[in-house]
């Protein structure tokens, strides 16, 4: 039995790079604890949560029993629902007391994406502090967003309690000053719980791959700096081949062994457990119970099943780049759930455009992304690289506001402005301004943007929509005379959105939900990319072949129901599985052109 199931703390956090299996492990842990007779609350703080898919049961934005698992309740912290409830809690008592204009002014102050983040955080802090829905639970299991945004979430208790101490006069994102003392106590309780090893354990989840382990090591160090010292490492998806002649299988085992031998020092001292790769998707209670009942067992079919052919609509990434290139300039947004390979796909698109003679700017909104690691050094053509770094953008934004708006203020007013800018909300505003600047740059050339995982990108788009509405309201100009970032995102001649997914049930559902959310915002996706496909590789290992055969119906569903129509059929690229994200110009162009083959040459470690 996994150690954190045998002896759980009252709060269990699961975090790691997108796609490493956090949700499967957190759900399996919650089910196992409930089966053992504990009262368990399972909470997702990921705006793109898929708890319902994995549990095979409805999960909403209010706590509800999971009918098929006695003792288990579940909750998705929905940022929009949390924001509505938060605004009503702040504004409700003022209706009928203050003038209508004053109430409307407070509502406008609480209408931005900044307040959305604070509302979701406020819900999280209450749960961590053991209040409300968490008060009757023996264990609260948190399934968190991918690493970069989880670190942001875990920094907020200390950041907000410190800001309230330094700014007793009030904060527009939190509401009027009268409620700040209650919130300060809540945030201090949340920060204290995070630092107490008797109350909180953090489980770092990683695949036996060097990028995932490197990110887990960075997380371990940053969490330790926050005072979160009770950490465990779970290496998920450990593969043991049974077909010696399968080059891909052998390369996977070799790379995993190398990654574990070279495990970063920050992880080497942590208690570590492994979970074996399964031949099936981890969806449903039977699969979850099997996962933790014998987590180290290596299951495999006796013989490799036949893998059907992929649909004819499955093309390569270079064909999508052909259409993108025809415009001569524009924005390419690479979007999807964490762990599907957005950074690699973005780097491949940028490399292909640069190799064709175009100047390309490659940037990212993902706090955990590392574009330089994907590009390598032998990149053809002209590519400039940047990263929308939240800390750097916040400093830049703060300096600009103090230099402009603060220029004519007296000392007291300038001091109040500086205090307001120390609010953690300032980071959200600063990141939005940097995002808008990058979007505008695409009017003069190609910009390829590697976005943050789905839920947080949607929050950024929500900020874009809020800004659009505010500009139209305050400018007094007709819409046709105003160009906002949202209008550029909604222009299919300016913006091409590539939706990246894996050929598995849950990632495809999540990508379809992302596409629906984009369409509701008036943004039409350009094409789909199915990344790291085993079905597109040559293999004979029974376990890998079983997983490959399960991929084919998912790719067919993408081709038939989800991929947008192009001039010659669905815009769909399928990228074969490679042992690691291709690094460098030659490998990235091979990936774009569908030349990644499952043989020793393409799969040998870099």
DSSP state of 133: G
Residue 606 has pLDDT above 50, yes or no: no
Q: 500-536: per-residue pLDDT in tens?
A: 999 988 788 888 988 988 888 888 999 999 999 999 9
Reported confidence tier of residue 430, pLDDT bands at 50, 70, 90 = confident
For residue 535, the SS3 value is: coil
Phi, psi of 8 (to 5 degrees): -80, 155
Domain residue limits, the chain? 3-238, 317-388+445-600, 392-444
- Alpha-carbon distance of 26 to 494, in angstroms, equals 40
- Residues with a catalytic annotation lie at 19, 21-24, 46, 506
Q: Looking at domain 317-388+445-600, does it have CATH number 3.40.50.12170? A: no
The answer to whether 423 and 173 have CB atoms below 8 angstroms apart is yes
Q: 379-401: per-residue pLDDT in tens?
A: 778 888 888 887 888 888 888 88
Residue 173 has pLDDT above 60, yes or no: no
Q: 200-214: per-residue pLDDT in tens?
A: 899 999 999 887 898
Of 265 and 167, more confident: 265
- Alpha-carbon distance of 24 to 283, in angstroms, equals 8
First CA to last CA across the chain, in angstroms?
A: 36
- Alpha-carbon distance of 306 to 165, in angstroms, equals 64
Q: Looking at domain 3-238, does it have CATH number 3.40.50.300? A: yes
Residue 287 has pLDDT above 90, yes or no: no
pLDDT at 599: 39
Same fold, 3-238 and 317-388+445-600: yes
Longest Cα–Cα distance of the chain, Å, equals 79
Q: Strand 565-566 to strand 569-570: parallel, antiparallel, or no bridges (unpaired)?
A: antiparallel
The sign one gets for the Cα dihedral 367, 372, 374, 379 is positive
Task: Please state the rounded mean pLDDT for residues 173-183.
Answer: 47
Q: Strand 72-76 to strand 64-65: parallel, antiparallel, or no bridges (unpaired)?
A: antiparallel
Q: 438-493: per-residue pLDDT in tens?
A: 888 999 999 999 887 444 455 555 555 554 455 445 445 455 554 567 778 888 99
pLDDT at 205: 92
- Alpha-carbon distance of 530 to 524, in angstroms, equals 18
pLDDT at 84: 72
- Give which of 433, 459, 430, 445 is closest to 332, Cα–Cα: 445
Query: What residue ranges in 281-399 does DSSP mark as E strands?
Result: 330-335, 359-364, 382-385
pLDDT at 295: 74
Of the chain, the percentage scoring pLDDT greater than 70 comes to: 78
DSSP state of 99: -
Sequence-distant contacts of 254-260: CB under 8 A, at least 24 apart: 254/605, 255/208, 255/209, 255/210, 255/579, 255/580, 255/605, 256/208, 256/209, 258/210, 258/605, 259/208, 259/209, 259/210, 259/213, 260/208, 260/213, 260/235
DSSP state of 316: -
The mean pLDDT of the chain is 80
């Amino acid at each position: 039995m996994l150690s954190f199931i045998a002896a759980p703390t009252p709060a269990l956090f699961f975090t790691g790079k997108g796609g490493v299996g956090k949700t499967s492990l957190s759900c399996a842990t919650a089910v196992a604890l409930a089966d053992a007779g504990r009262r368990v609350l399972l909470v997702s703080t990921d705006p793109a949560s898929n708890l319902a898919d994995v549990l095979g049961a409805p999960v909403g934005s209010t706590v509800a029993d999971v009918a098929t698992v006695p003792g288990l309740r579940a909750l998705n912290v929905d940022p929009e629902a949390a924001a509505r409830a938060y605004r009503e809690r702040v504004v409700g008592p003022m209706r009928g007391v203050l003038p209508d204009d004053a109430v409307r002014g407070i509502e406008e102050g609480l209408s931005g994406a900044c307040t959305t983040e604070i509302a979701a955080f406020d819900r999280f802090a209450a749960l961590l502090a053991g209040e409300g829905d968490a008060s009757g639970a023996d264990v609260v299991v948190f399934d968190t967003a991918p690493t970069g945004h989880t670190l942001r979430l875990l920094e907020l208790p200390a950041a907000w309690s410190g800001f309230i101490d330094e700014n007793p006069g009030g904060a527009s994102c939190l509401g009027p000053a009268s409620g700040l003392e209650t919130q300060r106590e809540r945030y201090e309780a949340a920060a204290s719980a995070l630092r107490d090893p008797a109350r909180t354990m953090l489980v770092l989840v990683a695949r036996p791959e060097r990028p995932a382990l490197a990110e887990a090591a960075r997380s371990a160090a940053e969490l330790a700096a926050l005072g979160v010292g009770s950490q465990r490492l779970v290496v998920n998806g450990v593969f043991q081949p049974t077909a010696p002649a399968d080059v891909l299988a052998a390369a996977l085992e070799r790379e995993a062994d190398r990654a574990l031998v070279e495990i970063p020092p920050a992880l080497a001292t942590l208690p570590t457990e492994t979970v074996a790769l399964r031949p099936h998707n981890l969806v449903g209670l039977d699969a979850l119970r099997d996962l933790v009942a014998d987590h180290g067992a290596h299951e495999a079919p006796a013989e490799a099943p036949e893998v059907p052919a992929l649909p004819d609509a499955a093309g390569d990434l270079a064909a999508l780049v052909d259409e993108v290139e025809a415009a001569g300039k524009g924005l390419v947004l690479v979007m999807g759930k964490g762990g599907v390979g957005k950074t690699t796909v973005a780097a491949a698109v940028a490399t292909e455009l640069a190799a064709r003679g175009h100047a390309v700017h490659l940037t990212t909104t993902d706090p955990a992304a590392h574009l330089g690691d994907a590009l390598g050094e032998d990149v053809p053509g002209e590519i400039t690289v940047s990263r929308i770094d939240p800390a750097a953008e916040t400093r830049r934004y703060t300096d600009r506001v103090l230099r402009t708006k603060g220029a004519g203020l007296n000392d007291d007013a300038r001091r109040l402005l500086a205090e307001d800018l120390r609010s953690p909300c300032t980071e959200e505003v600063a990141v939005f301004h940097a995002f808008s600047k990058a979007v505008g740059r695409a009017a003069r050339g190609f910009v390829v943007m590697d976005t943050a995982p789905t839920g947080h990108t949607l929050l950024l788009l929500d900020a874009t929509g809020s800004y659009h509405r505010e500009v139209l309201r305050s400018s007094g100009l007709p819409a046709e005379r105003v160009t906002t970032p949202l209008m550029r995102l909604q222009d299919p001649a300016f913006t091409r959105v590539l939706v990246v997914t894996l050929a598995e049930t849950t990632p495809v559902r999540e990508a379809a939900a992302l596409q629906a959310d984009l369409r509701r915002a008036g943004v039409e996706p350009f094409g789909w990319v199915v990344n790291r496909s085993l079905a597109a590789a040559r293999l004979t290992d029974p376990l890998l072949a079983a997983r490959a055969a399960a991929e084919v119906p998912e790719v067919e569903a993408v081709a038939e129901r989800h991929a947008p129509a192009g001039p010659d059929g669905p815009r769909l690229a399928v990228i074969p599985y490679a042992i690691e994200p291709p690094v460098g110009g030659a490998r990235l162009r091979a990936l774009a052109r569908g030349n990644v083959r499952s043989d020793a040459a393409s799969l040998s470690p870099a």
